[in-house]
Amino acid sequence: MKINKKIKVVEKSFKISPVSAKKLIKSFHSDMKNGLCGKKSSLKMLPTYAKRPTGREKGDFLALDLGGTNFRIFKLKLQGKRRISDILSESFVLKKEHIANTEKELFGFIADCIKKFMERQKFSKNKQHKIGFTFSFPIKQTAIAKGVLLGWTKGFNAKGAEGKDIVWLLNKALLGVGLSNTKIRALANDTVSTLAAKSYEDEKCDMGVILGTGTNACYVEKKKNEMIVNIEWGNFNKLKLTRYDKELDENSINPGKQVLEKMVSGMYLGDIVRIVAKDLAAKGIFDVYGYKKVFDKNGVLESKHVSTVESDSSKKLTKVKNVLSMLGIKRSTYSDRSILKEICRIVSLRASRLAAILMAAVVTRMDPGLKRKHTIAIDGSVYEKHPGFSKHIRSTLGDIFGRKAKNIVLSLTKDASGKGAAILAARQK
């Protein structure tokens, strides 16, 4: 078997046909419906108790963004008429003693940061201030400003917080530092905040998507009263897995879970490429010895490396050569570099096509005939920085909808988790 035939076998296993795309959309619709009805589904379809802003909200607001080791605070002015101005932000580094001890230490530190920020920005002490809180950890919401923490992720382990209302914990901490004139008015995850931020500027925006280290989506459900629903689509599991996907899943910390996320998100793209390269190395596809040993190491290839490889348009594929050198392959051939670039293209193309197909599923849940305009707000490093990712999403939407695809606008919405939380807070009395 020639080298190109071996690559074609891999490509075929990752390909999504038009027939498969239609079946995926139908399966996704079924899981959405079941999730909304409380039936068995791979999609949680969580109510957020949030509505889209009207665009007329006004005033100065604070927003908090907690989803990693950098805690961010935003101040912004909503001018009404769908305009935002005077955006200021500050980041605070959360150390191990803040995230791995007790909830009092974590939320006490956050409250201290808010107090310092408000003093530096000269917020009035005689006026009540509404705060929006983007909290990107698993929660069960029962109101717009009430959500119980189901469990920590991302290395956080502040004891005493799980099973408690996050808003109550932070409001208590704010009182503890003397900020009786502040209160959390809205709680949301980053996906919901992304939708809220864009829809303040664009009334056609009715879907939010995160395509970064992880992936998720939300949309506007209008069955009775309008509400933004958090899909948690990373767990969608009605997907055809290749042998490479199965190997990745079996060796992950959560086998059988977050199936879509393992095929689309930045956390896993590098590892899928690694597993494919390891398999092809065992079949003798590379000129230089040592590839199998290098690619046998979990986590050796990251999403940023995949982006670097795919973006290389130099005659000698110098960027690819540098990546391989960093991995331990000091003398790669041009053929080897071309093969790795092709593997990266195959893996990321499937990821972008899957994202597009599920966007199509959500949009047609809201508008089966695609008769009106829809703006999809998207944030995340994979969508923003991975070469060709956004272009392939648009192309796939064109394949699915033909001319009607022009009714879907994709909008990169950066720093939305801060702006969106403040906008949601502005809607609350």
Active site residues: 154, 190
Q: Are strands 215-221 and 146-149 parallel, antiparallel or unpaired?
A: unpaired
416-426 and 190-201 helices cross at what angle (nearest 10)?
A: 70
DSSP-assigned letter for residue 165: B
Contact 111, 172 (CB under 8 A): no
CA distances from 341 to 287, 323, 336, 352 (A): 15, 11, 9, 16
The residue ranges of DSSP E strands in 136-278, in sequence order, are 139-143, 146-149, 182-188, 205-211, 215-221, 227-230
Contact 52, 195 (CB under 8 A): yes
Residues paired with 130 in a beta bridge = 183
Contact 196, 420 (CB under 8 A): yes
- What's the sign of the alpha-carbon dihedral 36, 147, 415, 420? positive
Angstrom distance (rounded) from CA 179 to CA 160 = 22
